[in-house]
Amino acid sequence: MGDSIKKWFSLNLGNSNTKPSGSCGCGNPSGGCGSHNSENTDENAIGEERHKDGFEQVFDVKMDRRSAFKKLTASLMVGAGAITTSCSVIVGDETKEKAQIDWEEQFKGNYKLMSDEEKKGTVDRLVRSYQLRTGKTISMSSKNAEEDVLFGYAFNISKCQGYMDCVTACVEENNQDRSSQMEYIRIHEMEDGKGFNFNEADDNYYHEVPAEGHFYMGTQCFHCDNPPCVEVCPVQATWREDDGLVVVDYDWCVGCRYCMAACPYDGRRFNWSTPEVPEEEVNKNQHYLGNRMRKKGVVEKCTFCVQRSRAGKNPACVEACPTGARIFGNLLDPDSTIRWVLENKKVFRLKEDLGTEPKFWYFMD
């Protein structure tokens, strides 16, 4: 990671992370989805953003090979297109289109390294493919991080009563697999008088809440500012965006699960089988890096509902919480509630000694 991740985080909210807008966090000009790439955008991109891309600085040569591969893919695509066209008597237009899309999707590049145009290209293909398969239209965004935004989260331990409305809302919002009951959020029920004793806490309770003599604490991905999960990924399928969100490109992940071993906060989930969401429950307002449909064998995690947060809304868990225990906002905005909490409450974070710098604080009234 050549860019601005410091080894040790200091809470310097005033002036961090001012970066040119419209960047994807790396700005690599030749991410290569095999299409949608004109000479012009390439040059602009190099002019503006080249300095930011650690990957490209180190592996300049590779990018050339990448584009060589892209060309190869493109020519193969032409070939495949020719074959399918010549067989057009047998297959319908839609089948052909679907095959074309599948092919391009299989050989597209890493989202992190795509230009804005390429991002749009892959999003369009995914929307079209969904339409071809189910006849339903979804909306999928590829909105980049905004300037002067760094998302943070605070959790009020005194308020949480363990209702788990956040968990339900999260599952619905983010199209999580229903069959394996995947949940990003875990609520730990702890006994009063024992402190934060996670060992004896129960994160899988089914009784009525709030239970007498207990308090509750929620965990999820903390969007670390120095995320160990990002460091270990062999293919850069997961990374920290400029607004602080740690995201996964589900199509680039190879499913090695090294990031799960590296996360100290149990923040990541794996699709052990093909995720199932009943068609009528699918949330059709999606983001490429967020709640779009996943496939089997890839890792996913909380994205602070990137499809909502980048559209100026609160994540689903914040909205769903009946007690107001969850606070979300822009750490760089001095007037935000989250800033008020950080400045006026006695906040703490979990496992601070690991140097991961979570952007998720706990506090009590």
Partner 1 sequence: MRRLKVFGSLVKDSLDVITHGSKKYHIWMAFLTFVMLVGMYCYSVQLEHGLSVTGMTDRVSWGLYISNFTFLVGVAAAAVMLVMPTYVLKDIDFKQAVLIGEGIAVAALIMCLAFVIADMGGPSVLWHMIPGIGVFNFPNSMLTWDVLVLNGYLFLNISIPFYILFRHYQGKESNSKVYIPGALLSVFWAVGIHLVTAFLYQGLQARPFWNNALLGPRFLASAFAAGPALIILVLAIIRTFTAFKIRNETLKKIAMVVTVAAQINLIMLISELFKEFYAPTHHSESAYYLFFGLDGKTALLPWIWTSISLNVLATVTLTFHKLRNNSKVLYFACFILFVAIWIEKGFGLIVPGFIPGPYGKIVEYTPTGIEIGVTLGIWALGAFVFTMLAKTAIKIETGALRYHKNES
Q: Which residues bind ligand SF4 (CB under 6 A)?
A: 221-224, 227-229, 232-233, 235, 237-238, 246, 248, 253-259, 263, 265, 267-268, 299, 301, 356
Is 55 a residue that touches partner 1 (CB under 8 A)?
Answer: yes
What length does the chain have? 365
| The one among 141, 271, 286, 307 contacting partner 1 by CB under 8 A | 271
Task: Please name which of 86, 277, 258 lies closest in space to residue 179, comparing C-alpha atoms.
Answer: 277
| The one among 12, 15, 199, 344 contacting partner 1 by CB under 8 A | 199
Q: Is 121 exposed, middle or buried (0-12, 13-18, 19+ CB in 10 A)?
A: buried
Q: Which residues ranging from 69 to 88 are in contact with partner 1 (CB under 8 A)?
A: 69
Contacts of residue 214, defined as CB under 8 A and 6 or more positions apart, other chains included, come to: 162, 189, 190, 191, 192
Is 219 a residue that touches partner 1 (CB under 8 A)?
Answer: yes
* Amino acid, single-letter form, for residue 340: W
CB of 8 to partner 1, least distance (A): 13
Residue number with CB closer to partner 1 (43 or 64): 64
| The one among 76, 83, 311, 354 contacting partner 1 by CB under 8 A | 354
Dump strand ranges (E) for the chain: 139-141, 151-156, 186-191, 214-219, 238-240, 246-248, 268-270, 285-287, 299-301, 326-330, 360-363
**Residue 224 binding: pick among partner 1, ligand SF4, none (C-beta 5-8 Å cut-off by kind):** ligand SF4
Is 232 a residue that touches partner 1 (CB under 8 A)?
Answer: yes
Is 348 a residue that touches partner 1 (CB under 8 A)?
Answer: no
Residue number with CB closer to partner 1 (162 or 329): 162
Residue 360's DSSP bridge partners are 153
**Residue 301 binding: pick among partner 1, ligand SF4, none (C-beta 5-8 Å cut-off by kind):** ligand SF4
DSSP 298-350: -EEE--S-HHHHTTT---HHHHH-SS--EEEEETT-TTSHHHHHHHHS--B-T
Is 266 a residue that touches partner 1 (CB under 8 A)?
Answer: yes
Residue number with CB closer to partner 1 (200 or 343): 200
Contacts of residue 39, defined as CB under 8 A and 6 or more positions apart, other chains included, come to: none
CB of 73 to ligand SF4, least distance (A): 21
CB of 60 to partner 1, least distance (A): 12
DSSP 89-122: TTS-HHHHHHHHHHHHHHT---GGG--HHHHHHH
Structure tokens at 82: 């020719």
Q: What is the 8-class DSSP label of residue 144?
A: P
**Residue 261 binding: pick among ligand SF4, partner 1, none (C-beta 5-8 Å cut-off by kind):** partner 1
Chain positions contacting partner 1, by CB under 8 A: 1, 55, 59, 62, 65-66, 69, 106, 109-110, 113, 180, 182, 186, 188, 198-201, 203, 219, 228, 231-237, 251-258, 260-266, 268-274, 295-299, 354-356
